[in-house]
Amino acid sequence: MTERVEPAWMRTLRSQAMERFGEMQWPTPAEEEWRRTDVSRLGLDSYAAAPAPKAACPREADPGTASGVIRFDGGQCTEVALDPQWQEKGVRLLPLDLALEEFEIPLYKLFHDAIKEADNRFLAWHYGTWSHGAFLWVPPGLEIAEPFVMEFAERGEGLFSAPHVAVVLGEGARASVVQHIRGDETADGPMGLLCNAAVDMHLGDASALRFCEMQELGARSLYFRHARADVGRDGSLRHVDAAFGGRLTKTRVECSLSGPGAEAYLDGVYYCRGDQHMDIRTVQHHRAPRGTSRAYYKGAVASGRTVFQGLIEVATGASGTDAYLTNRNLILGETARSDSIPTLKIGNNDVKCSHGSTTGRLNAEELFYLECRGLSAEDAREMLVIGYFEDLLASAPERYRDDALARIRERLHAPSAA
Amino acid sequence: MSEQSQAVEIGEYQHGYHFPDESVFKTRKGLNEDIVNAISHRKQEPEWMRQYRLRALAAFRRKAMPNWGADLSDIDFDALYYYAAPQEQQSRRWEDVPANIKETFERIGIPEAERKFLAGVGAQYDSEMVYHSIKEDLSRQGVIFTDPETAVREHPDLVKQYFGTVIPYLDNKFAALNSAVWSGGSFVYVPKGVRVDVPLQAYFRINARSFGQFERTLIIADEGSFVHYIEGCTAPIYATESLHSAVVEIIALPGSRVRYTTIQNWSSDVYNLVTKRAVAHKDAIVEWVDGNLGSKRTMKYPSIYLVGEGAHGEVLSIAFAGKGQEQDTGGKAVHAANHTSSVITAKSISKDGGVASYRGLLKVNEGLHDVRSRVVCDALILDETSRSNTYPYMEINSDDVSIEHEARVSRISEDQLFYLMSRGMSEQEASLMIVSGFLDPLVKQLPMEYAVELNRLIELEMTGTVG
């Protein structure tokens, strides 16, 4: 067992984050963003830190068809694999703690800005206590087709973990990442696991990143996630998230279009059943001219409650902005509850901004049509629900799309077993 | 673009005529139990109303200011007068209205022809009705159209049954304030099956420096009846801030239909913080037509609670936010029964640094079926310094629903401008035509004379001149 020794700058940043943590209170429903998700009865202070992982010295492995793979089990990095052709060209896929020295400059900036902008206690807590994580660096001009896979198996009843992912793309680089967060039976007690995750993405000028996240924590766990992306001039972000697990999830995806001509696509699917509570926030922040952004979130709610709060914010100087925000909710059960709050804050007249939201149930005529063609009621329903989600997942990497659709199918056939 | 912004300067506020304040009875500045008791005593109210006011005052003190919406930090509750009675007793006929008040109305531009058209005018000068008449046939039909003070005296049973039931004083800080110090407003009761063919109208003015106006309106439409109530207001300009905080309650009993139209054109130093809410029972229809042009900051979200099967609600909202203005407006529909439907349509224009925000709620309670709702918001931003925000809240707790929402924010399209200008219009004329077209679907919903007035006001805001 080697004690983890961090560089002094990271220790300083952690203590700054913990200082902010100490100054803040847990968010209350008095704050608009937390109005529909009350965390006061979750006993947040009673979760214990997961045991500190050993300094990562993962075994090398074969990435298979992926460009690279990194796996964590209970906070410990167990496997890292990187396609040698990318390794030679300077790509780095590392456990975060092993990247701190080599990538001090970009990581210091990412963490420093995140701590400075942290507007709630979960964020300050994450940056003070992040326990394990993955780092990906793609040098300028490299175009990598196959995704990098990051798998996190989070375990431990009554424990909290704080996994972090940092992705930095050099100018003109292109890459995609698939991140899986899973839980297991070790966190199926009454408290479950508290997973307080964050992702920081920095997209250099004219770079393109596709980041797909899937969350399948256990039914009792709590999941907090904050993903931030900073998109440079003519850069392009495609972020997809799929939420399935957890008794309570509260997530935020925030993209800042900081360079002219940047674009961002924020897509997401969620499936809520049993007594699940899912609260999802997206922010499309246009800070520079001629940006394009789209947020498109689709959910199915069998029971439990979903909250979608989307925001398009256009700064005064961001002329030529084109932004759209859509949320659709498919209500599958009588006790389902679904709130949709798509908001716009526009400080500029040279914009095209709009949003749409629909909430409804499966179309009875379409069901009838399919049943007339000989499908059972259950198959007809499945076909419509899968069709509802499929268009949104169409652009995601195949393995991610298939995984997500498989989770949706399972849930359709077990509507209450959360 | 720059040429256009120069062309559409807002003109001088044209309704800023101010006459010396001649109020006879006026409470001192600030608010406490003594002042509430004095208002109640002055109005010779029964004990239950005095107690109601005092409970509301306690609630006002307890309630926090809203932590959202427009910036209200400039309001100093201790620097306001809460009650002033005008110098004249309530008049019966137009001829008895004091000359200076008549002159004020003249300058606002109530046309002679329109007066004939009016069924009854409840024109409010400061806090009391100074003029009030009801066409005889309405009286014969049993329609009650009076000020709420008279209603408390003459129809205590109706008032007790409905007053504060739609908007309890605990609802929010400004509803509590109004409940404590209310003065003036309208009381309307339409008996079963009676259709009031001509709109009932009341004009409101604020005319005392730093004086908050707290009118209270209660409309009860009995089964199968119909009434259209119109409220328009315009106020003289003052350097110190004024506060207007009204409460409007509507009870639409089974099968009735109520339409409530407001054209708000307070001067640009008024805080307009109004709570308006209607309850629609079985098969009732409630429509709010709400135009907000004036005031410094407005926060107003006309609401409809659809509590009976088959009820339908509509909100049409126009907001125009010019220099220094913040229009935080919208509408709410709460579905609490099966087979209910609602439509909320909002249009806003922001210009010269103004901020227009749509804020709305659409709520479907648990276990309902066949609920339909559609919310559409359109915003036009006319220059680079103006802002537009949209905050639509949708809370859906039932599965058999169809909910649609759309919002769009844009500027005047250059293609449209180019087209019109190539047809020989100046840029200013073209902009005005596009803005009028943008608002047209709402203007059409107004009675003719209001449509004319609104078009004139928009023209005034857009070009600084009329005609």
Report DSSP state, residue B273. E
pLDDT score for B123:
44
The number of domains in chain A is: 1
Q: Which residues of chain B are at the A interface, by a Cβ-Cβ cutoff of 8 Å?
A: 67-68, 366-367, 379, 381-411
Q: Provide, as residue numbers in chain B, all residues whose Cβ is less than 8 Å from the Cβ of A329.
A: 396
Q: What DSSP assignment string belongs to A262-291?
A: -EEEEEEEEEE-TT-EEEEEEEEEE-STT-
Q: Which candidate in B366, B368, B396, B417 is best for mutational testing of the A interface (most A CBs within 10 A)?
A: B396
In a domain, residue A192? The reply is: yes
Q: Provide, as residue numbers in chain A, all residues whose Cβ is less than 8 Å from the Cβ of B382.
A: 349
Closest-CA residue of chain B to A341: B393
Size of the A and B interface in Cβ pairs below 8 Å: 109
pLDDT score for A16:
96
Q: Which residues touch A367 (CB under 8 Å, ≥6 apart)?
A: A377, A380, A381, A384
Across the interface, whether the CB atoms of A354 and B389 are under 8 A apart is answered no
Q: To 10 degrees, what angle do helices B427-443 and B414-422 make? A: 120
Contact B368, B335 (CB under 8 A): yes
CB neighbourhood size of B50 (10 A): 16
Range of the domain at A99: 8-362
In a domain, residue A332? The reply is: yes
Across the interface, whether the CB atoms of A351 and B381 are under 8 A apart is answered yes
Is the alpha carbon torsion for A75, A77, A82, A87 positive or negative?
A: positive
Across the interface, whether the CB atoms of A354 and B397 are under 8 A apart is answered no
pLDDT score for B341:
96
Q: Provide, as residue numbers in chain A, all residues whose Cβ is less than 8 Å from the Cβ of B411.
A: 349-351
In a domain, residue A34? The reply is: yes
Q: Which residues of chain A are at the B interface, by a Cβ-Cβ cutoff of 8 Å?
A: 30, 32, 316, 319, 329, 331-361
pTM: 0.82
pLDDT score for B192:
96
Under-50 pLDDT residues of chain B:
1-14, 16-17, 87-92, 104, 112-132, 204-212, 234-239, 465-467
Q: Provide, as residue numbers in chain B, all residues whose Cβ is less than 8 Å from the Cβ of A30.
A: 67
In a domain, residue A411? The reply is: no
Tell me the pLDDT of chain A (418 aa) as tens digits: 345 679 999 999 999 999 999 999 999 988 889 999 999 989 999 999 888 777 656 677 788 889 999 999 999 999 999 999 999 999 999 999 999 999 999 999 999 999 999 999 999 999 999 999 999 999 999 999 999 999 999 999 999 999 999 999 999 999 999 999 999 888 888 899 999 999 999 999 999 999 999 999 999 999 999 999 999 999 999 999 999 999 999 999 999 999 999 999 999 999 999 999 999 999 999 999 999 999 999 999 999 999 999 999 999 889 999 999 999 999 998 889 999 998 889 887 788 888 888 888 888 899 999 999 999 998 999 999 999 999 899 888 888 999 999 999 999 987 665 4
Q: What DSSP assignment string belongs to A11-22?
A: HHHHHHHHHHHH
Across the interface, whether the CB atoms of B407 and A340 are under 8 A apart is answered no
Place of tokens 């919406």: B69
In a domain, residue A394? The reply is: no
Q: How far is A127 from chain B (nearest CA, A)?
A: 29
Interface confidence, given as ipTM, is: 0.75
d(CA B344, CA B394): 12
